[in-house]
């Protein structure tokens, strides 16, 4: 619908913009419908592998994920074929950088399929039984709501802290390869900041620090609380 006069761009009229947006909306609705159909198809075939819902012992988390994986492998291959158009097809003798660009675009177009799989996996990991879902009506939004309700606020907090701790440890280790003194100074500053934060927390009982066996504490004493090295801590808890 883009208009050009003598090679120059000409802005659309209000009516043309309305028609353009209407076309876009129809395309989005069609995309949502296709995504939902793919989800229900994957679930239907996975349920076929798991068998009917019975009163017996439900399949384990790993058994459900394995069944889902077995289904998605051939279907994802079909998705990749479906999203590949002539402009991103991989051709024999093509240069590596061009292959990489086309592969990224192909994978971008197939993101919806990977998202369907990951949503189902997380739903199972939070305690769901795939056999109990209605494959004719299930939606991704429904699954995401179930996942949020199944996760306690404490779970999100623990995941955030664990990710931050891993990033700190990896960053310090990388810095230590080039400048051990700078890495040590930075780590000591982090320990000081953590100790100060710990001191500011409301006291609910005596602090218990559990360290890994054989690791010697090298931190500084602050207000009677011994802050252990980040890499040495297995768990920190307060007694009830």
The residues spanned by each domain of the chain are 35-151, 154-238
pLDDT above 50 for 175: yes
pLDDT above 70 for 229: no
DSSP, res 49: H
- Which residues, in sequence order, are CB contacts of 179 under 8 Å at separation 6+? none
> How many CB atoms sit inside 10 A of residue 238's CB?
12
- Which residues, in sequence order, are CB contacts of 165 under 8 Å at separation 6+? 230
pLDDT above 50 for 14: yes
pLDDT above 70 for 235: no
Q: What is the pLDDT of residues 46-71, one digit of tens each?
A: 999 999 988 778 899 999 999 999 99
pLDDT, residue 164, reads 86
The full length of the chain comes to 240
């Amino acid at each position: 619908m883009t208009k050009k006069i003598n090679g120059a761009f000409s802005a659309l009229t209000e009516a043309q913009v309305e028609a353009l947006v209407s076309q876009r909306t129809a395309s989005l609705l069609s995309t949502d419908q296709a995504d939902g159909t793919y989800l229900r198809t994957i679930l239907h075939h996975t349920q076929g592998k798991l068998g009917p819902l019975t009163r017996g012992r439900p399949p384990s988390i790993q058994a459900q994920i394995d069944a889902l994986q077995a289904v998605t492998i051939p279907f994802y291959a079909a998705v990749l074929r479906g999203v590949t158009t002539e402009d991103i097809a991989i051709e024999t003798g093509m240069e590596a950088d061009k292959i990489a660009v086309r592969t990224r675009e192909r994978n971008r177009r197939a993101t919806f399929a990977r998202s369907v799989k990951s949503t189902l996996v997380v739903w199972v990991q939070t305690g769901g039984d795939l056999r109990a879902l209605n494959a004719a009506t299930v939606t991704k939004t429904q699954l995401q709501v179930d996942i949020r309700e199944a996760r306690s606020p404490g779970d999100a907090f623990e995941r955030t802290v664990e990710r931050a701790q891993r990033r700190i440890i990896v960053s310090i280790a990388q810095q230590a390869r080039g400048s051990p003194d700078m890495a040590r100074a930075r780590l000591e500053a982090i320990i000081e900041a953590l100790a100060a934060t710990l001191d500011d927390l409301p006291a609910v009982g005596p602090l218990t620090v559990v360290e890994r066996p054989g690791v010697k504490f090298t931190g500084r004493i602050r207000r009677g609380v011994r802050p252990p090295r980040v890499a040495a801590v297995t768990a920190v808890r307060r007694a009830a």
